[in-house]
Structure 1
């Protein structure tokens, strides 16, 4: 349900009477909660908010938020806990386990099929069709998904564990989880209720290869992920368990194997597995040898371009599309899940690595491969390397339907807040004019203004005077009265929609003491550029001191300041090397005038 971005329609604080009613509804929905837990769950004094959202399929959902984290969501008057709630109360719902590689499929919107459900030695919990359940990963009791059983426990067993077992509503890593603080699941040991179960578990471990349940100890040996038959076969799953297993086996083999055997093992892996291994190698290499604590926070795009790419061995090339992750943000989410790094969105749509666990066993155990040479020996400077791999963001202007324009767009099925491109707006207006027969019969270049067009597009002083509009004027007036938005797509990341028009890179020249001038550059972060890297590059090009300072009056924004009027050099770098469109750079006309040619 939350596999794709949703739209927030309204947000408000929960009042006292509503809070008491919500506590009563929660007590009825989850009777296992004690009175103390209910008070803790729905507190009396802490801020509690309710937001109304629409999913990407248009479903209306009510979400309750406490301390920035969504704790409940309500669909058709039925309450469901989020994963944030289940991490605090892990035994609130009957739980079923699955393999770690399945998680990415579930987060992408797939339902859980019975071949992907692990049968524990103690048996399944007894549930009926329609029972609300939690989904956990093997070895950890912390739930990662909320689902509804599509059949009873008896029906699951009678079906031979085939078919769809659970309709998944919400998962860890989906967009509802992203609405919170994006924390990772805690590590909770599975419950073992008595010694008999411990003995049973021990017996099962001894029966590896003899009993079906023995596959719990070696998923890659007995389970083919292709047999899970999840709802979205083309979903880009991050095959965590199998990848870790293959790397572990490869490491064990490498200890006593000769180079020929190692090469044969490498060749036996699929291209996707080889690319996954290359990304892991470059990631740990960059963390251990390139990134310093003083570099943090570090833009994720800069980490990929300036650090990981330089750690790629000669003859190989990093390509996230050829890996199982498909997107660099998904790769970083997995590393954050492993608690190696912490990623935060310091500016909207621009993620940064804010923390690294340098003492993590995987970081400490990594060793640079013997005879390592970078992919390009000619890349002597970091600036040249960054310039070759920088990708300018794709920026698309969009428009939101405002309150005043609703009458003009409601016939085409759009509501307030609907997001449209300029071509979509143009088509809607043309269809509206044709359906209402508003084209002027005497001159088809004009459109007759009816009551709706008059209210939406004309000022009060014009309403009695203007009866016709040219097509171009009709379109331009319409775009002017819609809410401006823009979509930014950074390389390897999902598109981000922001309100308003994108701020251009602002270049100014300021006068300092002793008649000295400095060039100031702002808003570089909005275009995926690291201000520190830009400052270092400019400093090397013009041989002048450069600094990075906070922007006065702006939170989480910095500016680059370099001695002298350096707009000529800056323009060449931004336009030719970074290939940013000129319309997104403001102030280039302030470059110093060139001297006379001799």
Structure 2
């Protein structure tokens, strides 16, 4: 619908009564949204506009914009979310997965045909004909399109996955998306996808309006689609073996929760650690004890909350929990002689698990060796020529000092009356003095001479990772920057930038934080940069970030900025 430019008829601000009506309409159209989420989407005081426009085919559309971005649009009395809204609430609509190469065709106005869907091992979402659905790409849960199901899930399967599956209404990169801030597609933890019999599917994706088949990059000559490996479901928290032993998922999660709890108390928590915040027990100890291939999610257990689980453990007299400050619970005592702890056997990691850990980036990460250097600029080349260095040469501070000292001695510039002073010849004057100083300053102390020289050189740094060639970069070294951003209704998010400089993969860090903090994470392009990504975590998670970067990745604190903004622990 928005594949071509539209014509705007009017753009007006929405008043209070209009906001209340819109909130009621959103609640009715999307009942899965909570009251707080509806209030975030339709704020009470922030700018909210209603834009009436005509699509290129003449359809009258009403668009609601907030903060400069279109968040909802209304067509024939039906309310639809935009991709901007779905990126904030990715589970708002049932999500169907397609291949990345399909996006280009959808943006051009094509509908999505059933042969273009990726069928996960868990099956397709259950929808009825006419239901509103989201379409995402393989490997990323961030929706790229909004469409209406052309048939029910049962009809899709009965048809042998042939025919039109969805009438696509709005896509990422169409003109409605372009009317906003044009933010890039974020990376949201993908759903587990294991296409069944996918290697028997033909490359022809059957896109409506384009009968030509699409050859996926790297495809074989027989026309079969090579499948990528299934992605781990880092958001659902489901056990990877949830049906192997026939136990309900909730029962399995209860067992896993108790296993991680006992494992943490037996091998990680020491008496000196007490009192220990319950959140620290979960985030820093229990998650680390989770077996490879499984994911701990308290919400999927019968306890639902950590506090209820710990109350149960306190009733068994394993631990003692107290609220040492208002709203903050801590473990103040542990009975390490309790039979459940003494009889617990710490599971040995499997051979496969060890192999995965040895090959994984997180487990094998070693902090880089960083050297601060100085590059010779064009206006100082004469000073460094005698030592064999050219423009752009990178030198350590000690090398610069030695070169300057040798130059002064070799050219007899050391003052004979006061050997703490150095006479300035024309080359030194041009290199270190300002224009208004060149006829006023004839001599300088050694320390002042060296300080001025280092200041006028260009800063640079060299990063060396174990087993790799050194990487030289000009400019100042940017530390890992941790900031807190304020969202609507006083909600906070933690934003981390510059991870790539230190060899850290933002997507991997986001996945770890999502698990430990039990909070949603988004990886998106960092503002004002070309290739850098930033990680955004819901809430103030600086404490968890500090533990991850300082204790596990062993990065020196001088390379991390913003750790002082961590929430203050309650008084003991």
**TM-score, normalised via structure 1 length:** 0.37
- Greater Cα radius of gyration, structure 1 or 2: 2
Question: Which protein, 1 or 2, shows the higher relative CO under an 8 Å CA cutoff with sep ≥ 6?
Answer: 2
Instruction: Indicate the structure with greater helix content.
Output: 1
